Amino acid sequence: QIQLVESGGGLVQAGGSLRLSCAASGDTFSIYSMAWFRQAPGKEREIVSTIRWNGKSTYYADSVKGRFTISRETAKNTGYLQMNNLKPEDTAVYYCAASYAGWSRGNYDFWGQGTQVTVSS
C-alpha cells in the first residue's frame, strides 16, 4: 500500500505560480509512476501530468504543456508539480496518484486527498 499526502494548493492570481507536493509513504519502493489529476466543479477528473518514478519519461496534457513541470525526488519519496502562468481555468482540486505498474489513467490505484487550487482573474 502507498499513502499519499498533497500540499501546496491555495489561491493565486492569474499569471502566478504554485508548487504542489505529494509525499509518499508505505510501499514506496514499488512505485512505478506518479501522476497529477485535477477535477473542477461539474467536470470529470482529468489527467494533468505523469512521471515515471525513474524520471525517464513524462507526460503533460495539452492544456498545461509549457506551463507545468512535473518532477520527483526519490530520496524524499516526494513528487512535485510546478505550475506557472496559472489561468482561471486551472482552478480545480488537484490529486496526486501512484501506480505499481503502467502510467495510463487506469493504472493509478493509490490517491491523495486532494488540494484546492484557485486562480482568480
Q: State mean pLDDT over 78-107.
A: 95
Cell numbers 487506469 correspond to 106
Instruction: Output the nine-digit C-alpha cell for 76.
Output: 524524499
Residue 19's pLDDT is: 98
Q: State mean pLDDT over 2-17.
A: 97
- Tell me how far apart the alpha carbons of residues 101 and 32 are, in angstroms, rounded to a whole number: 5
Which pLDDT band holds residue 14 (cuts at 50, 70, 90)? very high
Neighbours of 24 (CB within 10 A): 23
The residue type of 86 is L
* Average pLDDT of the chain, as a whole number: 96
115 three-class SS? strand
Q: State mean pLDDT over 65-94.
A: 97
Instruction: Output the nine-digit C-alpha cell for 111.
Output: 490517491
Percent of all residues in the chain with a pLDDT value above 90, rounded to a whole number? 94
